[in-house]
Amino acid sequence: MTGRQGTSDRPAEATGSHPALGFDDVVHQRTRLGILAVLAEATEADFTYLRKVLDLTDGNLGRHLEILEGAGLITITKGYHGRRPRTRAKITAEGRRALRRELASMQALMQRLGSAVSAHEELPAKPKR
């Protein structure tokens, strides 16, 4: 899937398609998913904290923050703490909804795969006598 999906809170499986189709490329990317997860827990975090907790370079984190901000999933505020510049990120209501949709799609996929794996597991072979 490319770009942003619709605003439905239901995973793709609810509409009859494969749950993997419910993944949103903007949210599903590992780093951006991590940023949204941290911000969902903390509501707001500064650049330095996000960089450390997600083990990212300044440039990598900055680019992912730009993408999330461009999609309306976070807001960025820049200011100063004393003489030091501070960049803070905050998850938006749309960001929370997008994260919820992503998690619902992941859960639907895990349930589907769990059923498929269980159905195809072989019974242990009986010992020969």
The answer to whether position 45 is within a domain reads yes
Task: Find residue 74's DSSP bridge partners.
Answer: 91
For residue 96, give the CATH number of its domain: 1.10.10.10
Q: pLDDT tens digits, residue range 75-110?
A: 999 999 899 999 999 999 999 999 999 999 999 889
The answer to whether position 5 is within a domain reads no
For 103, the token pair is: 């998690």
Structurally, how many domains does the chain consist of?
1
Which residue is it, tokens 């200011």? 79
Closest CA to 40 of 105, 104, 110, 94: 94
Handedness of CA 90, 34, 55, 53 (dihedral sign): positive
Range of the domain at 93: 18-113
Query: CA-to-CA distance for 28 and 24, rounded, in angstroms?
Result: 6
The answer to whether position 119 is within a domain reads no
Q: With bands split at pLDDT 50, 70 and 90, how would you rate the model's confidence at 126?
A: low
